[in-house]
Amino acid sequence: MPDRDDPSPFRRLPPVNELLASGPLAGSIDRLGRDAVLSAVRSTLDDARSRIARGEAIEVDPGALARSAADRLASDRPILRPVINATGILLHTGLGRAPLAREAVEAVARVASGYCNLEFDLESGHRGRRADGVAGLIRRLTGAEAATVVNNNAGATMLALRALATGREVVVSRGQLVEIGGSYRLPEVFEASGARLREVGTTNRTRLSDYERAIGPDTAALLRVHPSNYRIVGFTESVGISELAALGRSRGVLTIDDVGSGALGPGRPPVVVEEPTVLEGVQAGADLVLCSGDKLLGGPQCGLLIGREAVIRRIEADPLMRALRVDKMTLAALEATLRIALDPSRASRSIPLWAFLATPVESLRGRADRLSDRLREEFGLGAASADSVSYVGGGSAPGEAIPSVSVRIEPPLPGRCPGASEASRALREGEPGVVCRVQAGALWFDLRAVFEEDDDRIAGAIGAVVRG
């Protein structure tokens, strides 16, 4: 042990083993390996010696140096890393939306680690079509004639308007010209695609006659857009997709249905009942239906274009299609997810989003009670289970509040992060990162979107913050 009374600042520096065993580095060796932690500690001590040699007055307290080593380890961590979503928002856009099913993850790993028949027909030995495999599964789920895939639903909308309506008019209700996350505004997509926007109706009321009067020689399509998490209630009127498609057929113009959230068919995630489905759009006679793959389907980020074969072929022939096409990993994850979705009962167990939504409140309450008991007993925290509300998120089912249960921790907390905001930040920056809510001055950990095996990791993360 160094002599703390020795006037030499070099001799007051703690030994390596003392720092390795300190609170800020507790558990780091198990997570990151001894070599990585040892390197960070030695680099921290080397830096301290250099600063002492330059005549700087530095903090030689073991806790401060251990925190410096922990910060050094944190700076070497990957920028994109897993977190535990305890916010209660299941499709949290900032946290990557839908987690993939185990089968989808395994499918990605299989094709990512080597070559695959991405655009190669193994039977003929000739070049194949990239999206044919998933297109067949989508047809089975929706009854559509054809389908293709691009990078996301914004890309699908842009591509469809460009391929089908460049230089011509597309008629859309004024109440559906929404802006969603990331300043994505539908009128700007029209402008970028080359299609001309023709607004009809008012913000709260649009009738079929409004569409009828707007159709002219320059009309390419009628468009219905899912309003995402924007909703008008009260004195409202809108046109259903069946009426709109019938009008389009009678006047010889296309009907495009952008359902957005990606519920494909009759099998859909539990609880979500009000969202339009692709199947409904296809059966209603829409020529093209657009949706996301990483929302209610619970798959990877992508945009699905589904509809009449002639329409899909026109879209695939557009040069922009190549710029928006998806890679082999996206296709592998999407195929695995679609295969699971063919069996809704299996999907409710295997697709994480569906499983989260299907979890009974009483099951969540039991987990919250056990976790609260542990936090009180091990760390002396003011923890208790509490009823809460979850939401699907991602612009899906905005009006549907889902009963849930949270662990609520009342401050102050022991350690160097006594307040809720300080503790919340420390949890986000920890390993694993835990993202929770700060509400009414308390920490809330909603368990609706937390994998059950992560309950212990939440306890460990809270313990690391408390031990500081």
| The two three-digit tokens of residue 95, written as one number | 């946290």
List the one residue out of 440, 140, 436 whose CA is nearest residue 306.
Answer: 140
Cα dihedral value 359, 362, 368, 371, nearest 10 = -100
pLDDT for the residue 270: 65
Asked if 298 and 352 count as a contact pair (C-beta separation under 8 A), the reply is: yes
Instruction: State the 10-residue block means of pLDDT for the chain, 468 residues long.
Output: 58 86 75 82 90 83 85 79 96 94 98 95 93 95 97 95 97 85 76 92 90 96 82 76 96 95 74 78 97 94 98 97 97 98 94 95 98 96 97 77 96 88 92 94 98 97 87
| The two three-digit tokens of residue 184, written as one number | 């994505």
Asked if 254 and 164 count as a contact pair (C-beta separation under 8 A), the reply is: yes
| The two three-digit tokens of residue 117, written as one number | 């028949």
Question: What is this structure's pTM?
Answer: 0.84
CATH number of 83-96+356-467: 3.90.1150.180
- β-strands 146-150, 303-307 pairing: antiparallel
Helix (H) or strand (E) holding 29: helix 28-32
Asked if 99 and 82 count as a contact pair (C-beta separation under 8 A), the reply is: no
Asked if 346 and 340 count as a contact pair (C-beta separation under 8 A), the reply is: yes
CATH number of 102-350: 3.40.640.10
Domain range annotation of the chain? 16-75, 83-96+356-467, 102-350
In this chain, the answer to whether the domains covering 83-96+356-467 and 102-350 adopt an identical fold is no
Residues 6 or more apart in contact with residue 426 via CB below 8 angstroms:
417, 465
| The two three-digit tokens of residue 256, written as one number | 């495009």
Q: Which amino acid is at 2?
A: P
pLDDT for the residue 1: 44
